[in-house]
Amino acid sequence: MDASTQVVAAASKRALEELEIRVISAESSKLDALVVGRTAIDRRVRISTEREGISKVSIRVGTLGEEEMSRQILDALKKQLD
């Protein structure tokens, strides 16, 4: 994504809040960021961002990953960045 890690972290937090996912923590620096949340049924949501020319975003839901929910979160994140 063509935004700083701090901007992506703030947008990630807003995206989780929009989806009514409780934000547990949000940390960011110029090099990386991490936003962690919990769903209503206590699934862990982890959005990590690393700066490599552009910001590389990784979304993980639960231990093994849940593709459909990850896509919904990504869509909400993109909406926040527009």
Q: What type of residue is 7? A: V
Q: Quick check: 52 pLDDT over 90?
A: no
pLDDT band for position 25 (50/70/90)? very high
- Average pLDDT rounded to a whole number, residues 14-22: 97
DSSP class per residue in 24-79: EEEEE-SSEEEEEEE-TT--EEEEEEEEESEEEEEEEETTT--HHHHHHHHHHHHH
**To which CATH superfamily is domain 5-81 assigned?**
Bacterial toxin RNase RnlA/LsoA, N-terminal domain (3.30.310.240)
Q: How far apart are CA 18 and CA 52, in angstroms?
A: 27
pLDDT, tens digit (0-9, with 9 covering 90-100), for 58-77:
999 999 999 999 999 999 99
**Tokens representing 9?**
């972290």
> Would strands 54-61 and 32-38 be described as parallel, antiparallel, or unpaired?
unpaired
pLDDT band for position 13 (50/70/90)? very high
> pTM to 2 decimals?
0.92
Q: What share of the chain has pLDDT > 90, as a percent?
A: 88
Domain ranges, ordered by start, for the chain? 5-81
